[in-house]
Structure 1
């Protein structure tokens, strides 16, 4: 709260955002303005709904404060910016950005929202950092839906790589220390994003499809064709990082691409990963202003998985996808406060540099449990729980009366 309090001009929203963050950190069965208001001891959900939907504060400025906080607590010269999108399954057609589209979260085409997230990973830890909601053309070309969802007039259609580029530009403009960018095929297949990263002198390890074509001394070749022709001595067994069950070992090979040079100079490679059990291949386009050894590229490729851990932690523990808001501003505010809560946990976990013998270092999820049990829960009052039981039953009684009265007007 010391980091973001200045973004809230009055004491009331400052108190509410503190209580809102405490609700996000709490192990509530579901998280929305009703359950968070009950957890805070408010006399109803209106205050939390006002904080998310109507109060005056700038979510972009809060995310900028979070970025500065992360730079201090987790910053490292070799930091990695990780880009990826995640989907929130939704019903209906009125929630901003929703349509039937492919979601990697569901693994199929579903009715959902998609958002591009920027994560920061360093030797100290990793956390979500910034976000951009993806608006399909069905939304940007429909003035009625835009007005209903409160989409600003300045927001037009942008592809996911274009949104990722804006997030990266913002992070660099804010002075975040970083050297690399990692992402999956949705971003590795966009040449404009790669060119923008080279212009920033940011190295990258971006996944590409097996059909990706690269210039070689034998002409333009597909990535999978190159892999087929590699001799056994070209492969090296290297760990892509530590996992819960041990090192993530794969076979790796990389091919220098001197014919891929452009006005940005630097060094281009095609990096190939082979699963040691199934033989499945994955491909990456890599670039760095300086020559780097293979294990550096492998380490950056391994960092990309950190954003999946962040998605899991924020969805299962902080309610990232549990919002019930349809409008543009409310969606961004909810997501911003979840990002802030996750950054707090990541920084606090990183500060715990020593653990007793026989214990693993404290994790973000374990820290969230401890923080709630030791700090938040002891301040709650039994009378608040009883008051909310009365409030819910009164609200349900009022709703029942309204439904019966409406029915009486149309039924004989």
Structure 2
């Protein structure tokens, strides 16, 4: 497929004006081919004329709908990647900042860094198969000051509907949006819940009947009391203790490691368990356990894996896909390795963390176009990237209360 068709007919077809689609192509081309940091100034330096100002207007102020572009991107890559997407992998994104003006920036503890940092936090949803992965949806996690300070929200143009969520809540909302609004076929959600409110997140996904494979801590409280794979008796214990008790049942599972491009073998234990929702780890179990998700929620599958030669298991995974083979569930979990490789090789070099604007809208526009650029590279279309001349006149935006576009074709378009 020609690159121009790839962009105009598929990814950017929701942009109503030809000059909007042209500026989107200019920005995307800059993300792919501009050396160094992918700022608007560096991208614009490849052109003559008022390109920098026009790109600033297009990215930071224009009211084009980023969700529609992401939906078309998701549907396109869903149809192109080998074996279709096997999982939706949730990957955190941490963007450290020196100042305090960028939307969502605050001093906060970051699990991925293991320390307090002045940063933005976001989560990305990646359509993933063993051969490729593609970020298609993004949620910016807003710390509490950005919800309680009207001045901060007004300055960053944060919409009223955008509230404070944990990364796990943001991921759940994004997944629901992809299923309910984008009409994508649901895939198992792979996500790390370590140091998060594990029970609450498990219950929320399970209640919505969303398949998941969650990385959990060894201290996760679980309950046995049914015909499990190990035929254990009834009791309340920790994930670590149960897996250690069943270590004699370890079986080798082969899986492909994308980061090292090698075949690996991991000893694995699988047990069916029940999860009690709404109770912290130190709480005493109730007389009648409340299963995660409530109602008629069935048993879940707990996996313990030994990635090294130590006596203790290194990883714990919990899934509501209890009727699926443990080996397949574990291979789904390891698709997170595919995402890590593609993040390092593609997404980071093309500037996912390089946006210097301050607005909520601008951040989402930037991440949307970076996702499109990622797809161009991952699908092998980089070589088809021909130079894209910008529109012949500046791209201007008239602010509210009557937002409109003034482009190279003249006329106005109400957003």
TM-score by length of 2: 0.78
Query: Is residue 270–residue 286 contact of structure 1 (8 Å, CA) maintained in 2?
Result: yes
Distance 1:228 1:186 in 2: 19
Query: Is residue 199–residue 275 contact of structure 2 (8 Å, CA) maintained in 1?
Result: no
Query: CA 1:66 to 1:345, structure 2 compared with 1: closer, same or farther past 3 Å?
Result: same
1:198 to 192, 201, 206: 206
Instruction: Specify the alignment match of 1:302 in structure 2.
Output: 334
Q: Does 1:286 align with 2:319?
A: yes
Q: Does 1:345 align with 2:383?
A: no
What RMSD in Å do the two structures reach over aligned CA positions? 2.6
Instruction: Give the secondary-structure state (helix, strand or coil) at the position aligned to 2:334.
Output: helix
Instruction: Specify the alignment match of 1:220 in structure 2.
Output: 236
Instruction: Specify the alignment match of 1:141 in structure 2.
Output: 148
Question: CA offset at residue 299 of structure 1?
Answer: 0.7
Instruction: Give the secondary-structure state (helix, strand or coil) at the position aligned to 2:240.
Output: helix
Instruction: Specify the alignment match of 1:237 in structure 2.
Output: 252
Query: Is residue 20–residue 36 contact of structure 1 (8 Å, CA) maintained in 2?
Result: yes
Distance 1:278 1:44 in 2: 57
Instruction: Give the secondary-structure state (helix, strand or coil) at the position aligned to 1:6.
Output: coil
Query: CA 1:343 to 1:177, structure 2 compared with 1: closer, same or farther past 3 Å?
Result: farther
Distance 1:269 1:5 in 2: 41
- C-alpha distance after superposition, 1:217-252 (max 9, x if no partner): 3421011222332243x1122234233252233221
Distance 2:341 2:148 in 1: 35
- C-alpha distance after superposition, 1:150-203 (max 9, x if no partner): 111222211222111111111112232343111102597433433343344432
Instruction: Give the secondary-structure state (helix, strand or coil) at the position aligned to 1:7.
Output: coil
- C-alpha distance after superposition, 1:104-138 (max 9, x if no partner): 56443211100011111135521111010000112
Question: CA offset at residue 209 of structure 1?
Answer: 1.1
Query: CA 1:281 to 1:186, structure 2 compared with 1: closer, same or farther past 3 Å?
Result: closer
Query: Is residue 86–residue 103 contact of structure 1 (8 Å, CA) maintained in 2?
Result: no
Distance 2:84 2:33 in 1: 34
5+ residue gaps in structure 2?
1-6, 225-232, 277-290, 390-415
Bigger share in helix: 1
Instruction: Specify the alignment match of 2:268 in structure 1.
Output: 252
- C-alpha distance after superposition, 1:315-337 (max 9, x if no partner): 43210001111111111110111
Distance 1:125 1:41 in 2: 37
TM-score by length of 1: 0.79
Query: CA 1:108 to 1:42, structure 2 compared with 1: closer, same or farther past 3 Å?
Result: farther
Q: Does 1:273 align with 2:305?
A: yes
Instruction: Give the secondary-structure state (helix, strand or coil) at the position aligned to 1:39.
Output: coil
Question: CA offset at residue 28 of structure 1?
Answer: 1.2
Distance 1:186 1:259 in 2: 16
5+ residue gaps in structure 1?
350-366, 381-412
Distance 1:375 1:99 in 2: 38
Distance 1:240 1:128 in 2: 23
Query: Is residue 19–residue 40 contact of structure 1 (8 Å, CA) maintained in 2?
Result: no
2:40 to 25, 33, 36: 33
In the TM superposition, structure 1's runs of 4+ consecutive aligned residues that sit over 6 Å from their partners are none
Give the aligned length.
355
Distance 1:108 1:40 in 2: 41
- C-alpha distance after superposition, 1:330-368 (max 9, x if no partner): 11110111112112333x24xxxxxxxxxxxxxxxxx64
Question: CA offset at residue 96 of structure 1?
Answer: 0.7
Instruction: Specify the alignment match of 2:166 in structure 1.
Output: 159
Question: CA offset at residue 302 of structure 1?
Answer: 0.6
Instruction: Give the secondary-structure state (helix, strand or coil) at the position aligned to 2:13.
Output: helix
